[in-house]
Structure 1
Amino acid sequence: MLPKPKLNVQSFPRPPLLEHTPRYLQIKCQNQVIADTKDAFWVLETYHSPTYYLPLKDISIELKKTQKSTFCEWKGWATYYSISLNGEEVKDRIWSYEDPTPRFKDLKGYVSFYVGPWDCFVDGEEVKSQPGDFYAGWTTSELEGVIKGSKETRWM
């Protein structure tokens, strides 16, 4: 098997690019699969790890809207969700764009997950979270370059 080509985050576009990805995405919590799809989108933006959006149809847990909402200059207003995992509520680690901007209209009906408290996988590789809890990118071994949120991008 050939190694995957490296993806340099500094060559990702701005404004961000939304495209369908054939990658196999899974999210597991305590070995239980809570999301499983090959029908996802990724958003690529300069200096960011890719952000993946999974179709609601491929999520096996109940999502409940929370009061949190944030605004993205590119995608519009985000709606956040809570879930119950083993009797504990996990809030605001999943979001969607219910009424995305025209350029990102394909995100309607898709949700994105921060990495954690569950485990996220891209093509079988367990991902790491993009540095800094503000960003929600999924970092894989194929990425290179300075990723926003890392110590190289913080003020000293």
Structure 2
Amino acid sequence: MGSNKKRKTTSNWLQKARESWSNTGNKRPPFAIAPKEGQRSVWDFPRPPIIEKVSKPVIVSHKGTGIAHSRDTLAVLETASPPTYYIPMRDINMSMLVSIPNKTSMCEWKGNAVYFTLKSFNNLPVAWSYPNPFPAFSALKDYLAFYPQHLECYIDGKQVEAQSSEFYAGWITPDLVGPFKGAPGTEHW
């Protein structure tokens, strides 16, 4: 009986979280920056998020030491946030990472996340994954996303700018316009 009650409570929480978003990519808010030719507005990204395949080279390193290199990444696009890039584990030097015990979070769209740190980082999260994502995001299984706040991350040879956040980890590239979720005062986006 307790298990059914817990599932119902989780299901109610997920539904409530999913319905709480007022910006869904259907209409840019008045404060959104209009994109110029060759640019995309994060306010045009949908909610629920979508996955976009990326074949440009994506590189993640720390102080010049390579962690990941892939031409087979997935970008998750979600209203108000720069894309988050997910790299297949087969393209990551997993020996450089260790899992962070008891650190998890829940995304209303993707499921339960687990976190990783570099062996030398003393539990500072640098990456996360969804070992059992919700069915709509099953493509993310066996992929990791990295925080550009703590690492050097590149797309097609250009270093990305980190999203202003300790929780969100979007990769800001020159072709994106915001403003971006994550800065103080944007929590309600």
TM-score (norm 1): 0.88
Corresponding residue of 2:82 = 49
Within the candidate set 106, 116, 123, 2:149 is matched to 116
Shift of 1:154: 5.9
Deviates more, 1:61-70 or 1:96-105: 61-70
Within the candidate set 136, 143, 150, 2:169 is matched to 136
- Name the CA distance, whole Å, in 2 between partners of 1:79 and 1:121: 23
Which structure has the larger Rg over C-alpha atoms? 2
- DSSP-derived class of the 2:124 partner: strand
Structure 2 counterparts to residues 4-153 of structure 1, below 5 A: 5-62=38-95, 63-66=97-100, 67-85=102-120, 88-150=121-183, 153=186
- DSSP-derived class of the 2:82 partner: coil
Deviations, residues 39-86 of structure 1 (Å, cap 9, x unaligned): 11000001100000001011114232212000000000001112214x
Higher helix share: 2
Higher strand share: 1
- DSSP-derived class of the 1:121 partner: strand
Aligned CA-pair RMSD: 1.8
Is the CA contact 1:146–1:152 (under 8 Å) kept in the aligned structure 2? Answer: no
Relative contact order, higher structure (CA 8 A, sep 6+)? 1
- Name the CA distance, whole Å, in 2 between partners of 1:117 and 1:130: 11
Shift of 1:135: 0.9
Is the CA contact 1:61–1:83 (under 8 Å) kept in the aligned structure 2? Answer: no
Deviations, residues 82-135 of structure 1 (Å, cap 9, x unaligned): 2214xx435322100000000000100000111132200011111111112121
The aligned length equals 150
- DSSP-derived class of the 1:104 partner: helix
TM-score (norm 2): 0.74
Structure 1 residues 154 and 104, CA, compared in 2 at 3 Å: closer, same or farther?
A: closer
Is the CA contact 1:127–1:138 (under 8 Å) kept in the aligned structure 2? Answer: yes
Shift of 1:152: 6.4
